Structure 1
Amino acid sequence: MNFIITETRKAILELYKEEIAESVINIQETRKEFEGQATIVVFPITKISKKSPEQTATEIGEYLVSHVDDITKFNVVKGFLNLSIAESYFLKQFNEEILSADFGRYPSNGKKVMVEYSSPNTNKPLHLGHVRNNLLGYSVSELLKAYGYDVVKVNLVNDRGIHICKSMLAWQKWGNGETPESMGEKGDHLVGRYYVIFDKEYKKEIDALKAAGQNEDEAKKNAPLIKEAQQMLLKWEQGDEEVVSLWKTMNEWVYAGFNITYKNLGVDFDKFYYESNTYLLGKGTVDEGLAKGVFFKKEDGSVWIDLTEDGLDQKLVLRADGTSVYITQDLGTAEMKHDDFDMDESIYVVGNEQDYHFKVLFLILEKLGKSWAKGLYHLSYGMVDLPNGKMKSREGTVVDADELIESMVTTAREKTEELGKTNDFPQEDKEELYKNIGLGALKYFLLKVEPKKRLLFNPAESIDFQGNTGPFIQYTHARIKSLLSKSNYQFAVAGEQFSGISAVELEMILQLAKYPTEIEIAAKAFSPASLANYLYELAKLFNKFYHEVPPIVKTEDGDLKQFRLNLCKKTADIIHTGMLILGITSPERM
């Protein structure tokens, strides 16, 4: 309702002889308990009027009603001016703006953004925490695309280090030549199983050493298994053919398994980076930092940065023996990614346990004078808990992503068949529907919560055809599609020659009109949660409309019937488009 800002500025100039900036005028949606659709917050204007908020609001309200045809009435509640907008304005907005094919689509803004997400370790399958990461990264990417960005989706795979050597060593010792094919097992599951085996055998050795008199720390260092794993890592770094060959083979098993999970989750990537190719990066950046005086070298030869003046601490960036620490390679990788894609912004989707790491990383890059460092952002998210407690990956009690997906689909099948609404569906269509409902429930439940918040995931609660859930929104979409099919809907702009629209229909227009703004809000916050909850409110409002308005099929007034069908169609379109941004499919039938 930009016209209200324009007309209010005119009113202030006329009444108080002063021109003000648009930013001074704060317009909000009128609260439901008051009459009107738009509310002007008057308090900032009293500095100009030199009058009480109530008197100022009354004078502006009287001016607007007498000078603007689309403003029919006003009421004042303290310092808030509530305006009633003419029905004709909303019908015109609906026909000319909301019904247009490009409504809610943002043109290219000419900016490129990289979203890095998933970033798994190759020693175990993806788990529930990874699921939140992947869904969040994918959805933020789609949001930014919708808002006009050129988006590059990147996955930096942690495919080296002591963790993968543990799986490799355990497979060598106890694997008996097992392969994913010979076991009929996904490769990431097989490798993860040996990671768990290593941990169990390592604990046995630690207990034996402690029983022989060593303390906990000594036993952990002296256990033969950990020493063998460390030796294997050294051989890998030296390029030992046998170790490198095994490493490649087992990693390929894992990648094949990951790809199946990614496909089932519906996420994708434009570029994969591998830590095995990037772990030596950053040493040049350290040399650059030493030359610029950003870093300093201690007597033992190690290189540090002093961040105490920034409220942090001293941070090691290169060991005394010249080997990298984690932040060294992150400095190098950040530079490499920028060189590869020359992006304006880069978003790291990583759990909140890494908050400090990214604060340090971004600060160092700024101190090194990297102009692009201001565009780096850590999208920090909270842990996912289950009703029965936390996940523990090394003990093999992790909530496996594949098992979770399968469980969600099974639950969707059971709940849908209880309702008996798919009895006439072909079996193939049923299976596709159950997958869409199960994954829709999972994705929506994880995305409707602000990323920074810790999340309690309740699978049973997520698959509910009532309430703030994915299946409720999906069912609403299917209901609209059924209604449009029964009405033999054909698009046409309805004439305006029918008696007044109902209050709920006006609410529907107002809710639909918010869609572009909701995309903007969610994209700027890197948070799909606000979009998810907007779609729920839209679906909820449609169901209110569906029950309050007489059956559309029986509506005799042609223009009114067309208007209502258009209202249904646009609601379905926005649900469909908005849910796709969340990575969720909206079925035509349920």
Structure 2
Amino acid sequence: MNFIITATQDAVKHLYNQDIDETVINLQETRKEFEGQVTIVVFPLVRFSKKSPEQTADDLGKFLQENVKEVEGFNVVKGFLNLSIAQSYWINLFNNQLLADDFLSVKLNGQKVMVEYSSPNTNKPLHLGHIRNNLLGYAVSELLKADGYDVVKVNLVNDRGIHICKSMLAWQKWGNGETPQSTGLKGDHLVGKYYVVFDKEYKKEIEALVAAGNTEEEAKKNAPLIKEAQQMLLKWEQGDEEVVQLWKKMNGWVYEGFDVTYKKLGVDFDKYYYESNTYLLGKDIVEEGLSKDVFFKKEDGSVWIDLTADGLDQKLVLRADGTSVYITQDLGTAQMKYDDFHMDKSIYVVGNEQDYHFKVLFLILDKLGKSWAKGLHHLSYGMVDLPSGKMKSREGTVVDADDLIAEMVETAKQKTEELGKTNDFSDTEKETLYSTIGLGALKYFLLKVEPKKRLLFNPAESIDFQGNTGPFIQYTHARIKSLLSRADYQFSIDKTAITQLSDTELELIMLLAKYPHELAEAAKAYSPAYMANYLYEVAKLFNKFYHEVPPIIKEENAQVKQYRLNICKLTADVIKRGTQILGIEVPERM
């Protein structure tokens, strides 16, 4: 609607002899209860007119109607000027822009962005919380790609530390040489099993020590198992060959398991970083910070930064014994990632329990004078709850990602077979369809909610062929593809064929025209929810259009039939492109 912005600038110049910037002009879609399609918010313009909002709106409306051929009428509601745009404008827009080859194409912006997501621990399988992280990270990456960025997807794997040693030690003590091959378990499941075993045995030792007269805190510190795990970590850090080999073997099992889950989820990475390679990084940055007086050293030799003036607190960046803390490692890793890729922006997809950590990390890097620190962003997201309550990995009550995926596919199978619409599908086609629907339901349910919001995930509710769900959007796409196939559709445009649109046709063309704007807004906000809910509106409105117009297949006027089939084709293309960005597949038939 650039022509309305330009025309409004001309109107203010002509009527009030004032030059205004286009940023002053606020355009909105006209509310459905009023006549028109585009609304100008007049309140910011009264300082130029020196008149009431209503009089200013009336002045502008008359000028635009007289001087802009696309504006065929207007009405004023308080400080809002509602414009009726000629049907010829929307028909030309549809024919010349929306049906053009480049309408859904990517226009590169020359900027590089890194998205870090997944970041699992190698002591347990991926769970429901990881699923939200992975789907969010992948969808944000694809949104940014579609908005023109050169995107690098990275995964920083937490493959070292006391939690890893707990699984290793438990397997060593009670595993009897079990392997993924001998048990038939995925490697990450096998290692996760021994993380749970460790916790159970550790609790037994704590109980025994408490019964012998120790306090609970003393018992937690002095239990033989935790001391052995700490000793194992020390040996790993010293490069003990036996411990390192066990670590490599068990991590190898986990990576093979993760790869299977990542493939099921349809997510990928361009680069992996491993904490075992990065945990010593950052010490040089600490020295740099000391030399710049950004950090200070306490009497015991520990190094700190004072952020109280910034509303935070004092933060330890190096222990007195010279060992790193998490923030040290993250400072070094941030520098390493920038050195590797020189990106303009870097997005960390991490749960909101780390909000404070990232405030501190970004502030320190900024105080160190890192030019790239301004481009760092923490995409904070809320936890996922189930109707049954919270999850705890160490107690084995976690909702396993693989189990949830399998449950979603099975539920999709049951609900689809109840409808009886797959009787002519082969067994292979059925299995592919059930997987597509089940995963589409899971992904859409998790992505349609704003990232910052905590959400309650109910698998049964997510698979519904009506309402704001993935399967409803998938079904709409399949319905369109079936229609196009039955119509033996071939693309062509007759730009003189149509001169009049029904209300629903006009509404659908306007909504489809918003795709580039919705994409840009979603990318700017790092929010796949924008795109998900836009696609739902498209699917919902298409179904209204489909039911309101006479049967398209039976339309005798060839020009009208072609034009309506073009609307159908564009709708299918928008749905397919949008869902592709979200990592959701849409079937050709279902």
User: In the alignment, which residue of structure 1 is the partner of 2:243?
Assistant: 243
- Report if aligned partners of 1:74, 1:81 keep a CA contact under 8 Å in 2: yes
Q: CA offsets, 1:353-408, max 9 Å, x none?
A: 00000000000001111110111000000000001111111100100000000000
Using the aligned pairs only, state the percent identity.
Answer: 77
| In 2, Cα distance between equivalents of 1:530 and 1:309 | 37
- SS of the aligned residue for 1:142 comes to helix
- Report if aligned partners of 2:95, 2:495 keep a CA contact under 8 Å in 1: no
With normalisation by structure 2, the TM-score equals 0.99
Alignment of 1:131-142 (within 5 A): 131-142=131-142
User: In the alignment, which residue of structure 1 is the partner of 2:34?
Assistant: 34
| Aligned AA (1:68) | V
| In 2, Cα distance between equivalents of 1:38 and 1:115 | 36
| In 1, Cα distance between equivalents of 2:226 and 2:131 | 30
| Aligned AA (1:421) | K
- Report if aligned partners of 2:448, 2:529 keep a CA contact under 8 Å in 1: yes
Q: Determine whether 1:74 maps to 2:78.
A: no
The alpha-carbon distance between structure 1 residues 499 and 331, as it changes in their structure 2 partners (threshold 3 A), is closer
| Aligned AA (1:513) | A
- Report if aligned partners of 1:498, 1:557 keep a CA contact under 8 Å in 2: no
- Report if aligned partners of 2:87, 2:499 keep a CA contact under 8 Å in 1: no
User: In the alignment, which residue of structure 2 is the partner of 1:518?
Assistant: 518
- SS of the aligned residue for 2:315 comes to strand
| Aligned AA (1:149) | Y
| In 1, Cα distance between equivalents of 2:11 and 2:100 | 32
Q: CA offsets, 1:411-433, max 9 Å, x none?
A: 00000000000010011011000
User: In the alignment, which residue of structure 1 is the partner of 2:3?
Assistant: 3
- Report if aligned partners of 2:381, 2:452 keep a CA contact under 8 Å in 1: yes
More off after superposition, 89-98 vs 57-66: 57-66
Q: CA deviation at 1:496?
A: 2.9
| Aligned AA (2:377) | Y
Alignment of 1:292-303 (within 5 A): 292-303=292-303
Alignment of 1:411-490 (within 5 A): 411-490=411-490
User: In the alignment, which residue of structure 2 is the partner of 1:167?
Assistant: 167
Alignment of 1:89-168 (within 5 A): 89-168=89-168
User: In the alignment, which residue of structure 2 is the partner of 1:527?
Assistant: 527
Q: CA deviation at 1:86?
A: 0.6
Unaligned runs of 5+ in 1: none
| In 2, Cα distance between equivalents of 1:294 and 1:12 | 52
| In 2, Cα distance between equivalents of 1:199 and 1:299 | 38
- Report if aligned partners of 2:206, 2:220 keep a CA contact under 8 Å in 1: yes
Q: Determine whether 1:557 maps to 2:584.
A: no
- SS of the aligned residue for 1:553 comes to coil
Q: Which runs of 4+ in 1 moved over 4 A?
A: none
| In 1, Cα distance between equivalents of 2:279 and 2:67 | 68
- SS of the aligned residue for 1:556 comes to coil
- SS of the aligned residue for 1:167 comes to helix
- Report if aligned partners of 1:552, 1:564 keep a CA contact under 8 Å in 2: yes
- SS of the aligned residue for 2:553 comes to helix
| In 1, Cα distance between equivalents of 2:494 and 2:209 | 83
Q: CA deviation at 1:499?
A: 5.3
User: In the alignment, which residue of structure 2 is the partner of 1:491?
Assistant: 491
| In 2, Cα distance between equivalents of 1:185 and 1:440 | 26
Aligned residues: 590
User: In the alignment, which residue of structure 2 is the partner of 1:264?
Assistant: 264
Q: CA offsets, 1:475-520, max 9 Å, x none?
A: 0000000010111100001333345210000001000000000010
| Aligned AA (1:419) | L
| Aligned AA (1:279) | Y
Unaligned runs of 5+ in 2: none
- Report if aligned partners of 1:494, 1:560 keep a CA contact under 8 Å in 2: no
Q: CA deviation at 1:114?
A: 0.4
Q: CA offsets, 1:515-544, max 9 Å, x none?
A: 000010000000100110000000000000
| In 2, Cα distance between equivalents of 1:83 and 1:502 | 18
| Aligned AA (2:207) | D
Please give the root-mean-square deviation of Cα atoms over the aligned residues, in Å. 0.7
- Report if aligned partners of 1:496, 1:559 keep a CA contact under 8 Å in 2: no
User: In the alignment, which residue of structure 2 is the partner of 1:207?
Assistant: 207
| In 1, Cα distance between equivalents of 2:390 and 2:129 | 10
| In 1, Cα distance between equivalents of 2:586 and 2:367 | 47
User: In the alignment, which residue of structure 2 is the partner of 1:543?
Assistant: 543
| In 2, Cα distance between equivalents of 1:209 and 1:342 | 53
| Aligned AA (1:462) | S
Q: Determine whether 1:58 maps to 2:58.
A: yes
| In 1, Cα distance between equivalents of 2:182 and 2:144 | 43
| In 2, Cα distance between equivalents of 1:48 and 1:365 | 44
| In 2, Cα distance between equivalents of 1:264 and 1:46 | 57
